[in-house]
Structure 1
Amino acid sequence: MRKIFVALLFCASIGVNAQDLSAEQVLENTIAYHDPNNNWETFNEEFTVVMSTPNASKRTSKIKIDLPAEYFNVTATRDTVTTQYTINKDTCSMVYNGTVLDSIEAKGKNMSCDRANLYKNYYTYLYGLPMKLNDPGTNLSQNVEKKTFKGKDYLVLKVTYDEAVGSDVWYFYFNPKTYAMEVYQFFKTDENGKEQPDTGEYILLSEEAIVNGIKMPKVRAWYYNKDDKYLGTDTLVDK
C-alpha cells in the first residue's frame, strides 16, 4: 500500500511541475513541439493560403519565404486580379496582372513597397510562430498564466515589443499537455502604453499542416475581442 501511495504522489508531483514551468521553459516546449528539428532558422519553402471573409470572394495567396536568402514573394489572386509583391534583400518589385509596375504605376493600383514589407512581416511573423517569439525586441513576461478560454484550459504567455517593433500586447495560449499553440490574441494600447480591452482580435487555431518539417496551424479563424464578431479564416491548402 505504501508503494502505491508513493507512486501516486510521484505522479501527482510530475503534474504539478509540468504546470509550474517558467515562461522560457513553456516557450522552449512549444517550439520543440512545432519545430522539433529547428528548421525555422533555415526556412525555405512555398505554401498557399486561402482567405475567406464574409461578403467577399476568396483570395488565394501563394507565398514563398526563403530566410537565408532574405527573399519573400506573395502572389495573390482574387476574382480577375492577381498582384505580386517581391522583396529580394533590399529590392522591392510589384506586378499587377502580369505587368511589372514602377512606383507611380503601382500607386495607381494601390500597391507600394511599404505594403510589400507589410505582407512580408505579416506572413513571416504569423507562420513563424511560436519561433518568432525569440526574435530581438520581443519581451516575454516572466509570468505563466493559467486561463480558460472558450471552455478550454491553457498555459498563457504575455508578450510585448520594443517601441521600434510594435505597440500591441499579445497573448499566446498553449495546450498544457502537448504545448501546441492553439490561440493567440492581441490588444491595442493607448498613448500611455496601457492595454485597451475593447480593441484587437483573437485567433483560433485548428488542425495542422507540416511545412518544411514545421507543424503549422492549418486553419486560423479571426474574431474581434470586443464582440466576438467573426472576421475571416486563413487556411493552408495543398500547393
Structure 2
Amino acid sequence: MRTIFLGILIGILPCVTLAQEISGTELLAKAIAYHDPSDRWQKFDASFFVQLKTPNSPERMSEVTIDLPNEFFNLSVEKDSITTQYTLDKDDCSFTICSKGNVQPTASSSFKEKCDRARLYKNYYTYLYGLPMKLKDPGTQIDEKVIRKEFKGKEYLVLRVSYDEAVGKDVWFFYFNPKSYALEMYQFFKGDPEKEGKNTGEYILLSEEKIIQDIRMPKVRAWYYNKNDEYLGTDILK
C-alpha cells in the first residue's frame, strides 16, 4: 500500500509543480488573453460614462472618450450643475466650462495648467481602463517572480511592477484570479513598500465586468488607503 501511495504521489507532484511555476511575463500574457482576447486595445475607440461616489460629496458623472488610433481624448465632467470639458487632439488641447447654459471657451495657448491637467486625465483613464494591456508599455519593469498571496480571504497570483525613472516612481502590485487570470485588484505605493513607501498609496478592489469593444473592463472600482483601509470612494462604469 505504501508503495502504491508513493507511486501516486510521485505522479502527481510534477503536475502540481508545473501549475505553480509561472513567470511574470507568462502571467501577464494570460491576463491580457482574458481581458483582451481579440487584441483590440491598440485600436480602441469608444466613449463610456463613469459615475464617482465619494463620502460626504455629491456624485460626479464623467463621459470619457478614448480614441487611440487618432490620439484623441475627451473628458466631460458634470458636477453641481457645472460641466467641465477637457479635450486633447494629438498635441492640441482645449478647456471649456459650462454653467447653467453659459459656455466659456478657453484658448489652449493661454492655459498651460489646464492642458497639463488634460494630459494627466488622459494618462489616468487610459492607464486604468487599459489594464492589464498597458503593462506592455515601454518603461514598465515586470518582476518575473510571481507570488501567491491571500488578501481579505481570497487567494491571488500577484505581479510586482515598477517603472523606469522617467516614467514614474510608484511600485504597483496586480492581483489576478489564479484560475481565470482576471485582474481583480491592484495596489500602488509611493516608493518601495518594503522601505519608505509602506504607509503610502492605495489599493483598489475590482468587481463585476463590462465588455467594451470585446475588452473586459472592471465595472466597479472601490478605493482604499493602504495604511488604514480607509474607504475613499467608488467609481462605476456605465
- The normalised TM-score by structure 2 is 0.90
> Which of residues 147, 155, 158 in structure 1 aligns to 2:157?
155
Shift of 1:194: 4.7
Aligned counterpart, 2:58: 57
Aligned counterpart, 2:231: 230
- The normalised TM-score by structure 1 is 0.90
User: Residue 61 of structure 2 contacts residue 79 of structure 2 at CA under 8 Å; is this kept in 1?
Assistant: yes
Give structure 1 stretches of 5+ with no counterpart: none
**Does 1:99 pair with 2:104?**
yes
Give structure 2 stretches of 5+ with no counterpart: none
Aligned counterpart, 2:143: 141
Letter in structure 1 aligned against 2:121? Y
Letter in structure 2 aligned against 1:154? Y
Alpha-carbon separation, structure 2, partners of 1:216 and 1:26: 18
> Which of residues 116, 119, 125 in structure 2 aligns to 1:117?
119
Letter in structure 1 aligned against 2:199? D
* Count of aligned positions: 232
Shift of 1:102: 2.4
Alpha-carbon separation, structure 1, partners of 2:97 and 2:111: 8
Letter in structure 1 aligned against 2:118? A
CA RMSD, 1 decimal: 2.5
Kindly provide the CA deviation profile for residues 58-89 of structure 1, in whole angstroms up to 9, marking residues without a partner as x: 11110000000000001010121100000000
Kindly provide the CA deviation profile for residues 173-195 of structure 1, in whole angstroms up to 9, marking residues without a partner as x: 000000000010000028xx955
Shift of 1:14: 3.9
Alpha-carbon separation, structure 2, partners of 1:77 and 1:87: 18
Kindly provide the CA deviation profile for residues 35-59 of structure 1, in whole angstroms up to 9, marking residues without a partner as x: 0000001000111100100000111
User: Residue 19 of structure 1 contacts residue 176 of structure 1 at CA under 8 Å; is this kept in 2?
Assistant: no
Shift of 1:8: 8.5
Aligned counterpart, 1:30: 31
Aligned counterpart, 2:218: 217
User: Residue 92 of structure 2 contacts residue 108 of structure 2 at CA under 8 Å; is this kept in 1?
Assistant: no
Shift of 1:163: 1.1
Shift of 1:214: 0.3
Alpha-carbon separation, structure 2, partners of 1:171 and 1:118: 21
Alpha-carbon separation, structure 1, partners of 2:237 and 2:164: 30
User: Residue 169 of structure 1 contacts residue 195 of structure 1 at CA under 8 Å; is this kept in 2?
Assistant: no
Shift of 1:10: 6.1
Structure 1 residues 92, 149: closer, same or farther in 2, change over 3 A?
same
For the residue of structure 1 that corresponds to 2:206, the secondary structure is: strand
Structure 1 residues 87, 103: closer, same or farther in 2, change over 3 A?
closer
Identity of aligned residues (%): 57
User: Residue 187 of structure 1 contacts residue 195 of structure 1 at CA under 8 Å; is this kept in 2?
Assistant: no
Kindly provide the CA deviation profile for residues 121-141 of structure 1, in whole angstroms up to 9, marking residues without a partner as x: 000000000000000000011
